[in-house]
Structure 1
Amino acid sequence: MSRADNLFTLHPDRLFSSNSVERDISRALYNSVKDLPIISPHGHTDPRWFAENDCFNNATELLIIPDHYVFRMLYSQGITLESLGIRAFDGSNSETDYLKIWKVFARHYHLFQGTPSRGWMDYVFCEVFGFEIELNEANAEYIFDTINQALATDAFRPRALLKRFNIELLATTEGATDTLSHHAKLKGTGLDKTVITTFRPDDVVDPQIRNFSKNMQTLGTLTGEDVYSWQGYLNALRNRREFFRNHGATATDHGHATPLTADLSAVACEALFQKIIAGEASAQEQELFRGQMLTEMAGMSLEDGMVMQIHPGVHRNHNTAVFQRFGADKGCDIPVGTEYVNSLKPLLSKYGNEKELRIILFTLDEDNYTRELAPLAGHYPCLKLGPAWWFNDSPEGMLRYRHQVTETAGFYNTVGFNDDTRAFLSIPARHDVARRIDCRFLAQLVAEHRMTESAAFELAHDLSYRLAKEGYQNCLI
């Protein structure tokens, strides 16, 4: 940030190296890609926004309440979720005065110094809303009111922001039993090729998930299949995958706790499945079932061409009290160590050499980049590496990722950047960070005479745009 005459602005060379030679190269590379369209092939924005195109209500509902990055930090400092407008399952009181919530955020904005959230939010304030002052408790009401006035205009409706942010593709993520009514409403609007869905089957393949039995019943109703027989269950999943593909989906997403895979016989699968359905499976058997389902899903991806994303390595809902009171996605997921080489062996033994299969691996365990993931992706035709994700979606995390992955897997066994966000207005901010960091990394290689400038310019374009587009099977073609 720079301050002149009390202005608060984003420095044009932010995130570039302090080395003047590298900074000059970074700037030139960045200027060549900064205006490229955004490909956002994996995220969690609400498709209702784009289907209905209503004005956003207020700054708090848009920028604070949906963003677990924000209230995770505030909760860590003893600020209750109720005071931030997060509603509990039991219907007990939570704050409904959005200005009051905003003032709590502003009073504690200093907590975010040095975090990615601070960079994203400052970008939103400066670039999206045009503020030249830093948010604090004294100006909180002014900023709140000014944002709300902007949100009430047509220029800040969701579809207008898609154009303003130059978003060529935005993928949302829905569970296997979702009706996709909002995506259906987009059909014929011209936006159905811009806003697409992603198939996330966790709710019907993870027997430990909340409402698993109810979800299975819904799956049977939606597909007309006997979901209580092994083959009927698999047919139902194929049915839903086709339904999602008809609403634009090019990818699946799997948030299993581990990347364990299995390749059981048909008889063993049937027997295990019946124990799952009866609720008699042990925790070990439930994990084995999830592992078998990753292999089954890989086979289905080979059949229908959908890209398979695997997001393991998270102890989800670690704070049991928060989960029971408020539900999932409340900022209490914690990274855990993850093993890939042995866990993926059954799946890779069966499908790893299939060049038509695309599996994108993510991790929160950075030690795995050099030791396991880069060597795996640097060998198996079906594997690509997803970008630095979640807790590692930061300038430092992105740099570590490039340093640890590139020497073994290269650039072209990666798939560019995806923002994985619920916070719509942060999408251009996140992509801007990724482009700046990639340009910084490339600039170092050029400055050290390890890469030509022409190669760096080509790579900057590919990392910012083409690899994401092609990594999700040319999702716009």
Structure 2
Amino acid sequence: MSTNFIHDNFLLDNKYAEELYHNYSKNQPIIDYHNHLSPQQMAEDTTFDNMNSVWIHGDHYKWRAMRTLGIEEKFVTGNGTDKDKFLSWAKTVPYTMRNPLYHWTHLELARYFDINELLNEKSAERIWEQTQAKLNSGDFSCRQLLQKVNAEFVCTTEDPIDNLQYHQQLAKSDFNVKVSTAFRPDKAILIDAVDYNKYIDTLGDVAGVSVNSYSDLLDALRNRIEFFNANGCRICDHGLAQISFENYTESEIKSIFSKRREGRTISNEETLKFQSAILLFLCETYHEFGWVQQFHLGALRNNNARMHRILGPDTGWDSIGDYPQAQKLSAFLNALDSKDKLSKTIIYNLNPADNEVMATMIGNFNDGSVKGKVQFGSGWWFLDQKDGMIKQLNALSNMGLISCFVGMLTDSRSFLSFPRHEYFRRILCNLLGDEMQRGELPNDMEWIGKMVADISYFNAKEYFKL
């Protein structure tokens, strides 16, 4: 057996887990149905100058760890050199033990660069040179990185105002990994945002609609849904703290929108009513087009106002929120289902205290029309680590059918993040293999192996009609 930290049976504790992983999961293609990769970089098949640009730049998981260790912001997001930022990350890595970053770091070095040495201050210079040579070899462009991990389908995330020019280029290219987009209209929903009116003006310009009324807004959004659909989009996504569902009248919503467009302040109650109305409109429209809808719920964003002013959003100042979820989510899904307009739906949860809420909620709306129609999404953000994945898998198993689960995704901005699929698959196989060894599951390798293969690949392929 290899003495490398990342070895063939990493995270696999017994022969059942090993067989499940190596024979049924390891070689399945990757369907990554939600990420924040750059379509421009894929369309242009970008190459990277060094490990900071491909690995550290934009990765707020790493940034948070570096700041916690006391690394000066100059060497995190500031004007330090790329090499100094890499060396600062290397210095941080040994201190990340028991954080998933430690596992991910060494999986990524092993899988992309064939480097099995531990990254630390002593090895940093050597690993910098080794990775630099690989990146300069001509075999490490964006597309080549996706091919190295056997990616079959990747779905990026774009705002309704995006012109999708890079997706159009990709669709005409000879790239053998299918690339699509997900429609992310959060900025049209969050009416209380400071720059809301400026965004709506831009949306109207892109859609060719003068947005003077609420009905104009709906026309603009439908126009963009039609445009995205014509360009191959079949998935949408929403990043919301919680689902809103308040009773409202059409005249109220029209009045609230007009009030906001006039620059007047709206109340919290009016905000919630507006969000309820527009989200229902969007979801009914998604159903009309046969899209899959995703809801990422529970983040408390931009907690550090000072650093948010300096660096902006998505730079490492977010955390888990403790919002009430069950009642409004149930009412919202029920409103769609009562009209038979509930699309395939994936719900991601950020607060582990709500795992069982989400695991039971999905069962309320799985009506037999589609296998796994409503899904409890994989461990997300702060929960996409070993403990978070196991808790999500256990909650789903205990209260639903894990056999229908559509599996893992990266939710990442990095082209080196795809070993997270391997990480998830190893954890899944070990969870099941451990129960086989203890006799809690039968020694039926053929059936349990099929279930593993389905969760790793085939369920998502069927669910997204790939």
Normalised by the length of structure 1, the TM-score is 0.90
Q: Determine the structure 1 residue equivalent to 2:353.
A: 367
Native 8 Å contact 2:74 2:80 kept in 1: no
Alpha-carbon separation, structure 2, partners of 1:375 and 1:132:
42
Cα 1:48/1:192, change in 2 over 3 Å: farther
Aligned equivalent of 1:112, options 96, 115, 122 = 96
Native 8 Å contact 1:377 1:413 kept in 2: no
* SS of structure 2 residue aligned to 1:362: strand
Q: Determine the structure 2 residue equivalent to 1:26.
A: 17
Native 8 Å contact 2:253 2:273 kept in 1: no
Aligned equivalent of 1:403, options 368, 378, 394 = 394
Aligned equivalent of 1:275, options 256, 259, 263 = 259
Amino acid at match of 1:366: P
Alpha-carbon separation, structure 1, partners of 2:155 and 2:211:
28
Q: Determine the structure 2 residue equivalent to 1:460.
A: 452
Q: Which moved more, 1:43-52 or 1:142-151?
A: 142-151
Q: CA deviation at 1:351?
A: 1.4
* SS of structure 2 residue aligned to 1:170: strand
**1:432 matches 2:422:** yes
* SS of structure 1 residue aligned to 2:28: coil
* SS of structure 2 residue aligned to 1:339: coil
Alpha-carbon separation, structure 2, partners of 1:248 and 1:143:
40
Q: Determine the structure 1 residue equivalent to 2:325.
A: 340
Q: Determine the structure 1 residue equivalent to 2:12.
A: 16
Alpha-carbon separation, structure 2, partners of 1:108 and 1:271:
53
How many residues align structurally?
Answer: 455
Q: CA deviation at 1:37?
A: 0.4
Please list, as runs of the form range in 1=range in 2, the aligned pairs for 1:26-45 lying within 5 A after superposition. Answer: 26-31=17-22, 32-45=24-37
Cα 1:81/1:208, change in 2 over 3 Å: farther
Alpha-carbon separation, structure 1, partners of 2:194 and 2:64:
22
Q: Determine the structure 2 residue equivalent to 1:307.
A: 292
Alpha-carbon separation, structure 2, partners of 1:316 and 1:360:
21
CA RMSD, 1 decimal: 2.0
Q: Determine the structure 2 residue equivalent to 1:213.
A: 197
Alpha-carbon separation, structure 2, partners of 1:219 and 1:306:
21
Fraction of identical pairs, as percent: 28
Q: CA deviation at 1:460?
A: 0.2
Q: Determine the structure 1 residue equivalent to 2:153.
A: 169
Cα 1:355/1:405, change in 2 over 3 Å: farther
Q: Determine the structure 2 residue equivalent to 1:137.
A: 121
Alpha-carbon separation, structure 2, partners of 1:165 and 1:39:
11
Alpha-carbon separation, structure 2, partners of 1:289 and 1:130:
52
Q: Which moved more, 1:119-128 or 1:403-412?
A: 403-412
Please list, as runs of the form range in 1=range in 2, the aligned pairs for 1:439-450 lying within 5 A after superposition. Answer: 439-447=429-437, 448-450=439-441
Please list, as runs of the form range in 1=range in 2, the aligned pairs for 1:225-244 lying within 5 A after superposition. Answer: 225-244=209-228
Please list, as runs of the form range in 1=range in 2, the aligned pairs for 1:70-109 lying within 5 A after superposition. Answer: 70-84=62-76, 86=77, 94-109=78-93
Amino acid at match of 1:40: D
Normalised by the length of structure 2, the TM-score is 0.92
Alpha-carbon separation, structure 2, partners of 1:64 and 1:210:
30
Native 8 Å contact 2:155 2:181 kept in 1: yes
**1:358 matches 2:344:** yes
Amino acid at match of 2:149: F
Q: CA deviation at 1:132?
A: 3.1
Unaligned regions of 5+ residues in structure 1, if any?
18-22, 87-93
Alpha-carbon separation, structure 1, partners of 2:402 and 2:354:
17
Cα 1:239/1:175, change in 2 over 3 Å: same
Q: CA deviation at 1:281?
A: 1.0
Cα 1:40/1:338, change in 2 over 3 Å: same
Q: Which moved more, 1:49-58 or 1:35-44?
A: 49-58
Native 8 Å contact 2:406 2:456 kept in 1: no
Cα 1:284/1:152, change in 2 over 3 Å: farther
Amino acid at match of 2:10: R
What do residues 382-431 of structure 1 show as CA deviations (whole Å, max 9, x unaligned)?
A: 5221111111101111111111221211125532111111121121x100
What do residues 193-234 of structure 1 show as CA deviations (whole Å, max 9, x unaligned)?
A: 711111111122212445322211111111112322112211
Q: Determine the structure 2 residue equivalent to 1:48.
A: 40
Q: CA deviation at 1:333?
A: 0.6
Q: Determine the structure 1 residue equivalent to 2:50.
A: 58
**1:320 matches 2:305:** yes
